[in-house]
Amino acid sequence: MKRLLQCNPDIVNEYSGKTIVLDTAALIDASKTKDFGDLITSMSEKGCIFYSTTDVYFEFIRGSKTLEKIINFTKFLEDLGIELKKSLVDFISSADIMLFNLVINNCFNRTKKIPSLTDVMLMLELFVNRDKDIYLMTANHKDIPAQIFDTMELIVFETSNEIRTEAIYALNKDRLGKFFEKILDKENI
């Protein structure tokens, strides 16, 4: 049965040659929903570069109770052309970690929970690579602070029991700079 998949009709061409980091929700959605998985495949075949991190991979296979299931999940990622990279923690400067941590902590006030470490690390990928054409795909919209990220695309699709929305986000460098200035002004630095 054909299910609903709605998105920008030119998404495959618009992201050709661009890089998208996938979070756990995107990987799970691609593995469980053929139409969404097919979209990822089409984008990859057209030159979009997808990657994720070993932290996300761990979350993706975490519920697997057999080696066969883990192997199947790993093959699924390979078939989609999704590269796995080591976590950034080992490669970035402590200055970048401190700066981004300061920004994230100020984006989320006391009433809103700070996202998981994995989600923060994926956003940090965009922060560290802010001079490159790099995006983040996730269904965890509440974890992406609108103060510094733009929603570039919405991909709505139907699963067997719900309607899901994945989004492609980009770090807004101008708003990031203004937000950071506001933090420094507040601290009189």
Distance CA 32, CA 36 (A): 9
- Single-letter code of the amino acid located at 153: E
Distance CA 4, CA 179 (A): 38
pLDDT at 63: 83
Q: Which residues partner with 158 through β-bridges?
A: 163
Q: Which residues partner with 95 through β-bridges?
A: none
pLDDT at 111: 64
Q: Which residues partner with 52 through β-bridges?
A: 84
Of residues 10 and 130, the one with the higher pLDDT is 10
Share of the chain above pLDDT 70, in %: 94
Confidence of residue 90 (pLDDT cuts 50, 70, 90): low
User: Which string of DSSP letters, residue by residue, matches 110-146?
Assistant: TTSPPPPHHHHHHHHHHHHTTTS-EEEEES-GGGS-T
Say if CB 53 and CB 88 are below 8 A apart. Answer: yes
Confidence of residue 47 (pLDDT cuts 50, 70, 90): very high
Rounded alpha-carbon distances, angstroms, from residue 174 to 12, 79, 135, 180: 27, 37, 16, 10
Q: Residue 155, SS3?
A: strand
Distance CA 175, CA 42 (A): 32
pLDDT at 23: 95
Instruction: Name the architecture of domain 5-186.
Output: 3-Layer(aba) Sandwich (3.40)
Say if CB 156 and CB 136 are below 8 A apart. Answer: no
Say if CB 15 and CB 48 are below 8 A apart. Answer: yes
Q: Residue 25 pLDDT > 60, yes or no?
A: yes
